[in-house]
């Protein structure tokens, strides 16, 4: 009877550079976000965390191929990302709210960067309110609905009737004019009070123009000051 010949197992190569650097986060006081939370990467000076990655040397090509195959299976398993899940929960919540309020509107969702976006496409501005106050409140309610389902805090952005897009264009023009005035006069310019969403747009635009800005005051009178 022939003798079984078993191949010797390949020993795993040692892991090199296993020490992990502690992520360092740099942020400034002027970083603004939408109501309720901070935004990484705001134009006012937030920096992305710089974390060191451990390098792994692996001489077993078969093991690498198997890992790659597992990764491909994970990507193709059809599961939604956390942001997709947020958008779906928000869309369901808003559709139910529109039915209760007897308001017409379509729901559009998309992912941009690290944030889920939901838009209510409608001709009515009932859910926008004066200066977007109703919209801001509805956004917070929608975030709470998402958090109740997922257990995680949501940074979802909500727009109704294109209000936020239109407001963004107005703020960019306002900031362009204010920056030009500051560069010409050399004096600080204090803008009118804005909510966190609006202040972030201004901070980003000021930074893109090569100047700095900061927020002053307390809500709801907090405003942006452009510094020469």
CB atoms within 10 A of CB 200: 23
What is the predicted pLDDT for the residue at 206? 97
Over residues 172-201, mean pLDDT: 95
State yes or no: pLDDT of 97 exceeds 90. yes
State yes or no: pLDDT of 212 exceeds 50. yes
Give the length of the chain: 228
Segments of the chain assigned to CATH 3.30.1370.50:
164-227
What is the distance between the alpha carbons of residues 25 and 48, in angstroms, rounded to a whole number?
Answer: 7
Q: Is the distance from CB of 100 to CB of 165 less than 8 angstroms? A: no
The first and second tokens of residue 207, run together, are 């930074």
The pLDDT mean for the chain works out to 76
pLDDT band at 80 (very low <50, low <70, confident <90, very high): confident
Nearest to 132 by CA among 204, 140, 113: 140
Per CATH, the number for 164-227 is 3.30.1370.50
Over residues 16-23, mean pLDDT: 42
Overall pTM > 0.75: no
| pLDDT one-digit tens code per residue, 126-140 | 999 998 999 999 999
pLDDT band at 18 (very low <50, low <70, confident <90, very high): very low
Segments of the chain assigned to CATH 3.30.300.20:
82-161
Over residues 192-211, mean pLDDT: 94
What is the predicted pLDDT for the residue at 131? 86
What is the distance between the alpha carbons of residues 63 and 126, in angstroms, rounded to a whole number?
Answer: 59
Task: Tell me how far CA of residue 174 lies from CA of 42, 153, 181, 189, 199, in angstroms.
Answer: 19, 32, 11, 12, 12
Per CATH, the number for 82-161 is 3.30.300.20
User: Quick one: how far is CA 179 from the chain centroid?
Assistant: 26
């Amino acid at each position: 009877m022939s003798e079984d010949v078993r191949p010797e197992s390949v020993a795993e190569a040692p892991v090199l550079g296993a020490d992990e650097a502690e992520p360092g986060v740099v942020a400034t006081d002027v970083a603004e976000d939408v109501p309720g939370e901070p935004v990484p990467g705001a134009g006012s000076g937030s920096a992305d965390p710089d974390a060191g990655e451990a390098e792994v040397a692996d001489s077993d090509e078969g093991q690498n191929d198997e890992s790659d195959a597992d990764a491909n299976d994970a990507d193709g398993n059809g599961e939604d990302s956390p942001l997709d899940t947020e958008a779906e929960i928000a869309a369901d919540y808003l559709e139910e709210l529109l039915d209760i309020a007897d308001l017409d509107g379509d729901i559009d969702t998309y992912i941009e960067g690290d944030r889920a976006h939901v838009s209510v496409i409608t001709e009515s501005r009932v859910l926008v309110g004066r200066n977007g106050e109703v919209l801001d409140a509805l956004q917070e309610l929608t975030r709470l609905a998402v958090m109740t389902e997922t257990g995680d805090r949501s940074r979802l952005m909500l727009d109704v009737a294109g209000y936020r897009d239109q407001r963004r264009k107005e703020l960019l023009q306002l900031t362009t004019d204010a920056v030009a005035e500051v560069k010409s006069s050399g004096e600080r310019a204090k803008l009118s009070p804005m909510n966190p969403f609006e202040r972030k747009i201004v901070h980003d635009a000021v930074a893109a123009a090569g100047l700095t800005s900061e927020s002053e005051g307390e809500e709801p009178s907090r405003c942006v000051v452009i510094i020469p």
